[in-house]
A and B are shown apart, each in its own frame.
Chain A
Amino acid sequence: MYIVKRILTMLITIWVIATLTFFVMKVIPGDPFASDADVLPPEVLENMRDKYNLDEPIAVQYVLYLRDLVTFDLGYSIQSQTRSVNAILADGATASALLGIQAMAIALVFGLLLGILAALNHNKIIDYVSMFIAIIGISVPSFILAPLLIKYFAVEWGLLPVASWGSWEHSILPSLALAASPLAVIARFMRSSMLEVMNQNYIRTADAKGLSTTKLVIRHGIRNAILPVVSFIGPLFVFLITGTFVIEKIFAVPGIGRYFVDSIFNRDYPVIMGTTIFFSVILVVTLFLIDISYRFIDPRIKLTSGGD
């Protein structure tokens, strides 16, 4: 029952996002064929408008769009007319997702580790060093970190390829650059959560049982401290796997990050809609999965369809 209700809500959410995006997009001044208007004969332009239904009233365009959307047909890009939006997303999504998953893994492993170590050594040198790293991770923008990584790892030491995409080696530097800031955020969050948990009475109870420090920290400390961290891992993960404009640009990764920006510049209506819907579907589904997973990681939470 809960799941059915949630899925319905998700569909409504996506419909609302699609509707809003559609009309906001139409409000932006400009035209996908503005730059072609001087070179192409009017008949051709007319033809193009007709193909993309741009000659219809907006309400009709909207209905036609929704009709296609329910059949998962996102249409054809205006910019590169031979490619369907589905194909563009499918091509780019693999690279972006791979990059995002790797970055997320790095950020999670090292972020949690750093946060836990810092908390367990509160106000000692390890704590200060960890938090110094975290501050750097948060405050150095990726467009500075990425060139620095390239300069040292690729150019000076020649360990890894400078840019481009292909082998696994190509994905290491962009993953690192992408991971830096979420790593720092996770580290800081985990540290404060862990500090709070380690001061709880049940930690003292566990200590009074004569448990070893490892068991105390893992079973009673981390287990509880990680709960609040999980709630913001979801959105973070979505942002990472749906591609990032800056990192993909710098490392020449053929992801979908650039379409989010380029499509708006080109008024490429089908691609704008496509990227937005793609992003919101992944976000909504991830949040749903996170909510479901809470049922398993926090026994106090029961999934109910709720009265009010």
Chain B
Amino acid sequence: MTHLLEVNNLQVNFKTYGGEVKAVRDVSFHLDKGEILAIVGESGSGKSVTVQTLMGLIPTPPGKIKNGEILFEGQDLLKLSKKAMRQVKGSKMSMVFQDPMTSLNPTMKVGKQIEESILTHQNVSKSEAKEKAIEMIRLVGINNPQERHGQYPHEFSGGMRQRIMTAIALACRPDILIADEPTTALDVTIQAQVLDLMKDLKDDLDTSILLITHDLGVVAETAERVAVMYGGVIVETGTVEEIFENPRHPYTWGLLESIPDVTGDEKKRLLPIEGSPPDLFSPPKGCPFAPRCKFAMEICAEEMPPPFEAGDGHEAKCWLNDPRAPQVEDLIAAGREPS
């Protein structure tokens, strides 16, 4: 079965004065039609770089795509010319960015910014484009679309701007919507609204969504499948249920434990994952999480674990899943407290 989007062994480096940062080291994942895949990870784990590479937004230099392929409907986007790639971005694949306050052109009417995308990719007249733009503003749930069409970004609130960003991204009915931390800059009630909006539009327009986030609450609420990224590598991937109910990677355990519990009156300490993320100038040859892992074994520092199958579509890159590895329960019994 071919996937709508398939990323294989993607490797992206950045040249800096301090050396070469290996931001994305070996990332493979796929996205099917109508699906929501969440990529989760902390800052610097390579999730944003991964999706910006998909969109061809990585400036080269300093960026360099060392290896890998990005198959969209079977065609490798990395092999496309700049011009051919421009026909894909904004049209078949589009993106909503993290900070709605700075992601819209301050001197251009929002309506024009939506029309621009329509006029670039569709063979329509200016008045048709305007009508479509107004329709998009209505679709993302903004009142008075007619009037709002002629306003500038500074006349919109953060949540409203993110709706406009969504309208821009969806204006050409793309097959894939990439949302790079779309709710990070918004307050919680607005976050929920924007996420609901995206889910609704996904159903209406039959768009697949690639959602980048570090918020597991957002993942649980929105996504169908999850890829957990750490140190430029996807360490675990599976359905939302599998990842939340049966996680197989110590980093995922840490993430899940670190979610603050707001139910009950009992005061609990927050549980952080001790240590700091790996130095991507010279990433470890073994598992990137090994130095912070409570259950690390000798092999973990020596060799990168292969993906271990843990059920249908559930894979974890962790040696603990090797049949030869000791049981985690035994390790805990031997004094290795899980956090």
Contacts and interface: CB of A to CB of B under 8 A. Distances in A.
B237 to A, nearest CB: 25
Contacts of A227: 107
B94 A206 contact: no
Contacts of A202: 102-106
Interface stretch (B81-89, B206-214, B327-335): B81-89
Interface stretch (B116-124, B223-231, B244-252): B116-124
Contact of A208 (B89, B104, B109, B152): B89
B107 A208 contact: no
A212 B152 CA distance: 23
Nearest to A208: B95
A210 interface: yes
Contacts of A220: 105, 108
Nearest to B85: A210
Contact of B152 (A206, A211, A215, A300): A300
Contacts of B113: 205
Interface string B15-40: 00000000000000000000000000
Given A201-B99, A205-B168, A299-B152, A210 B88 contact: yes
A224 interface: yes
A205 B108 contact: no
A9 interface: no
Interface string B56-91: 010000000000000000000000000001111111
A219 interface: yes
Contacts of B57: 204, 207-208
Interface in A56-88: none
A205 B113 CA distance: 10
Contact of B90 (A209, A298, A300): A209
Contacts of A223: 105, 107-108
Interface in A209-232: 209-212, 215, 219-220, 223-224, 227
Given A211-B86, A211-B120, A300-B154, A206 B105 contact: yes
B140 interface: no
A224 B105 contact: yes
B90 A210 contact: yes
A200 interface: yes
Contacts of B104: 202, 205
Interface in B158-202: 165, 168-169
Contacts of B86: 210-212
Contacts of B165: 205
Nearest to A220: B105
Interface string B101-137: 0111111110001001100110000000000000000
Nearest to B105: A202
B189 to A, nearest CB: 24
Contacts of A212: 86
A212 B117 CA distance: 11
Contacts of B89: 207-210
B103 A201 contact: yes
Interface residues on A, range: 20 to 34
Contact of B108 (A201, A208, A211, A219): A219
Given A205-B97, A223-B107, A210 B102 contact: no
A124 B169 CA distance: 33
A208 B55 contact: yes
B291 to A, nearest CB: 34
A297 to B, nearest CB: 8
B116 A211 contact: yes
A200 B101 CA distance: 11
Given A202-B103, A300-B106, A209 B97 contact: no
Contacts of B95: 208
B216 to A, nearest CB: 26
Contacts of B107: 223-224, 227, 297-300
Which among A204, A208, A299 has the highest number of chain B CB atoms within 10 Å? A208
A164 B168 CA distance: 59
Contacts of A298: 107
A208 B105 contact: no
Given A201-B97, A201-B99, A299-B152, A208 B90 contact: yes
The interface centre, meaning the residue of B97, B107, B152 with most chain A CB atoms within 10 A of its CB, is B107
Nearest to B83: A212
Contacts of A211: 86, 90, 116, 120
A184 B324 CA distance: 71
A59 B49 CA distance: 74
Task: Give the residue among B55, B88, B94, B103 with the most A Cβ atoms within 10 A.
Answer: B103
Nearest to A226: B107
Contact of B87 (A201, A204, A210, A224): A210
Contacts of A205: 97, 103-105, 113, 165, 168
B103 A204 contact: yes
B120 A209 contact: yes
A227 B143 CA distance: 31
A210 B169 CA distance: 11
A194 to B, nearest CB: 14
Given A209-B90, A224-B107, A204 B97 contact: yes
A197 to B, nearest CB: 10
A202 to B, nearest CB: 4
A209 B116 contact: yes
B120 A210 contact: yes
23 contacts: A201-B99, A201-B102, A202-B106, A204-B103, A205-B103, A208-B55, A208-B57, A209-B89, A209-B90, A209-B116, A209-B117, A210-B86, A210-B88, A210-B90, A210-B120, A211-B86, A219-B108, A220-B108, A223-B107, A224-B106, A299-B106, A299-B107, A300-B152
